Amino acid sequence: MFKGLFKKDPAYDAGRALYAAAVTQAREPALYAEFGAPDTVEGRFEQVALHVYLVMRRLKETQASRRVSQELFDAMFQNMDDSLRELGVGDLSVARKIRTMAENFYGRIGAYEAALKEDAEEGALRKALGRNIFENEDAPSAEAFEDYVRRVDAALCEQPAARVTGGIVVFPSVEPRL
């Protein structure tokens, strides 16, 4: 009778695994040392948001993958909530800060999604990355980030959907191309 109550949820587990992979990639030192991403709380949020978005973009195909995508989103914002509380942010402020972070995340998704469309204006992705990561559309490092994001997007698209939906994703090297 109680067996069903304690059954593992594969989507939940996959979402957590994908979030862990995205965070690991977002912490790659080359993103900060070679690409110039700001090594600040905001800069790290931008990297996590970017990598989570790219995985969510890959998960748009099926109902099962959309469920995993929702679990990935939930894992991200549960982690943000936990981190704010660990930093000593008061309980009354956490919900407001999380709401602001979610709004910022959705704004980035919209900008990146529009910039990655085939008919997007030339340089749209570079400008969106510059604006969000460097607070400057014309940031010199935005071009390297654009190349990296396109490589990640292509690499994720090549990975089998069942594997990604199962919580396994492999990101390409962060090293900039010469």
pLDDT by residue for the chain (178 residues), tens only, comes to 455 566 688 999 999 999 999 999 999 999 999 999 999 989 999 999 999 999 999 999 778 899 999 999 999 999 999 988 888 888 778 889 999 999 999 999 999 999 999 999 999 999 999 999 999 999 999 999 999 999 999 999 999 999 999 999 999 999 866 5
Q: What is the DSSP string of 102-162?
A: HHHHHHHHHHHHHHHSTTPPTTHHHHHHIIIIIS-TT-TTHHHHHHHHHHHHHHHHHS-HH
Token pair for 34: 């070679």
Q: In this predicted structure, what is the pLDDT of residue 49?
A: 97
Give the number of C-alpha atoms closer than 13 A to the C-alpha of residue 149, restricted to the C-beta side: 30
CB-based contact 62:3 (threshold 8 Å): no
Q: What is the pTM of this model?
A: 0.91
Distances in whole angstroms, Cα of residue 89 to Cα of each of 5, 97, 138: 34, 9, 34
| Angle, in degrees to the nearest 10, between helices 63-86 and 41-58 | 170
Count the neighbouring beta carbons within 10 Å of the beta carbon of residue 55. Answer: 22
Query: Distance between CA atoms of 165 and 169, rounded to whole angstroms?
Result: 9
- Tokens 């396109």 locate to 150
CB-based contact 161:61 (threshold 8 Å): yes
